[in-house]
Structure 1
């Protein structure tokens, strides 16, 4: 099915993650939507029991749509490291512990890579994955996927972005996501794919929904 949004429509962002909320607000600012987050509404965070990014994105979007009776947009994203058989994947945030400490999470990735003997650039390939799910209260939805390939560096460089950004250098660039401004990292514009995984999924969302 196709869901269309227009200026003035209300959209619930199914997230309690302030970093993601800021990124989405920045990317959606020109579309005139009435945006509110699940965190702002005090909605409970659904348990992410899925084993894929799509499953978890659907869980979050449908929970928010059902709770509010409104259209909801969710994101599930993470980093998959080839030498670690795709880990941490859907458990990307879990590796940061509670409360979240991504300095420790990045160190865990580095330690595991060293254990594997993955010290050369061609042994440290990885990709950021993002899945957006736009859900209606009636249970229907649309899925949009984005992928940003790159490699992992050590030590981490840069203090922009969030999560594993300081250790991820996207293909074709000499800077990590952690060294890039939000504008450079997303580099989204109408008709342009964008750089980050989330921007690439967002470009598909805009094309089909806005």
Structure 2
């Protein structure tokens, strides 16, 4: 049986400002205060697993143990069918540079590989999000969310973060980066996972 969350404050184990903002907007209507890992000066643990669930568990449990708070961690990425579902769990790694993450570079790299592959368009892809809610006693609950779409080039839009400028959800004419936060949050992979988390732990 799933464990229910009964507090009024939750730690979101991320240093990513975009992800934290999304979570604050999603939790806002529930009256639950959201605090980020950066605000509590938590270090980012090494993500040594090769699955979204494995890495989300590492982050959630490390943050919960360090603070004594229930902690929610997300591990997410984009899978491109023509690239054997790469970058997948290594989505953020493809953006790593000595000066931080450069997702423009990562999107250009992905496009170059697609062109080199000779795969016909549309280039199908999927955003995946795994959420792990962990408690200080070691218990956790896991949910996964998805949204299917196509890889668009050239990039379009100025909002969002990560790979949003190249991702056009199925049934849409705009990329995530051309949508408002509310529009994206209604259909995103993270919103899909969040709805499942609400049903499992918050209803």
- Please state which band the TM-score falls in when normalised by the shorter chain: over 0.9
Partner of 1:130: 129
1:203 and 2:165 aligned: no
Partner of 1:29: 28
Partner of 2:105: 104
* Structure 1 portions without partners, runs of 5+: 188-194
Say what the alpha-carbon RMSD is for the aligned residues: 1.0
Contact 1:113 / 1:119 at 8 angstroms: preserved in 2? no
Structure 1 residue 150: Cα displacement: 0.6
Partner of 1:48: 47
* Separation in 2, partners of 1:23, 1:15: 11
* Separation in 1, partners of 2:152, 2:32: 38
* Separation in 1, partners of 2:79, 2:102: 18
Partner of 1:3: 3
Structure 1 residue 106: Cα displacement: 0.5
Structure 1 residue 33: Cα displacement: 1.3
Partner of 1:169: 168
* Separation in 1, partners of 2:191, 2:24: 12
* Separation in 1, partners of 2:177, 2:143: 24
Equivalence map 1:64-143=2 (5 Å): 64-98=63-97, 99-121=100-122, 124-143=123-142
TM-score (normalised: structure 2): 0.96
* Separation in 2, partners of 1:176, 1:34: 30
TM-score (normalised: structure 1): 0.92
Structure 1 residue 3: Cα displacement: 2.3
Structure 1 residue 95: Cα displacement: 0.8
Q: Which structure features the higher share of strand residues?
A: 2
